[in-house]
Amino acid sequence: MERRLRKERVGTVKSNKMDKSIVVTVSRKVKHRKYGKFIGKTKSFMAHDPNNDCGIGDKVKIMETRPLSKNKRWRLVEIIERAK
């Protein structure tokens, strides 16, 4: 049986105060159905960071995984860009 492709998201780290966990904010632009104006929508994901590498403001890639805790269902794949 083949495993399905896992979702990947790119976002910025909002919080890294927990041990081995980060909160990643993913933003996207959505077109309003009636008025056609683009609206910015954001969503936060809790992700597993096993080495505590990430800092606030880092641009990271996260991938969907099995539930790791009550609200952690994503894991860190790579740090794309460090915060200045």
Q: How many angstroms separate the CA atoms of 46 and 25, rounded? A: 9
pLDDT at 30: 97
* pLDDT, tens only, 8-45: 999 999 999 999 999 999 999 999 999 999 999 999 99
Record the pTM: 0.88
pLDDT value at 4 more than 90: no
Task: Report residue 72 as tokens.
Answer: 């952690």
Q: How many angstroms separate the CA atoms of 63 and 75, rounded? A: 5
Lookup result for tokens 């915060």: 83
pLDDT value at 84 more than 90: no
How would CATH label the architecture of 8-81? Answer: Beta Barrel (2.40)
What percent of the chain stands above pLDDT 90? 93
Q: Which amino acid is at 49?
A: D
Residues 62-78 have a mean pLDDT of 96
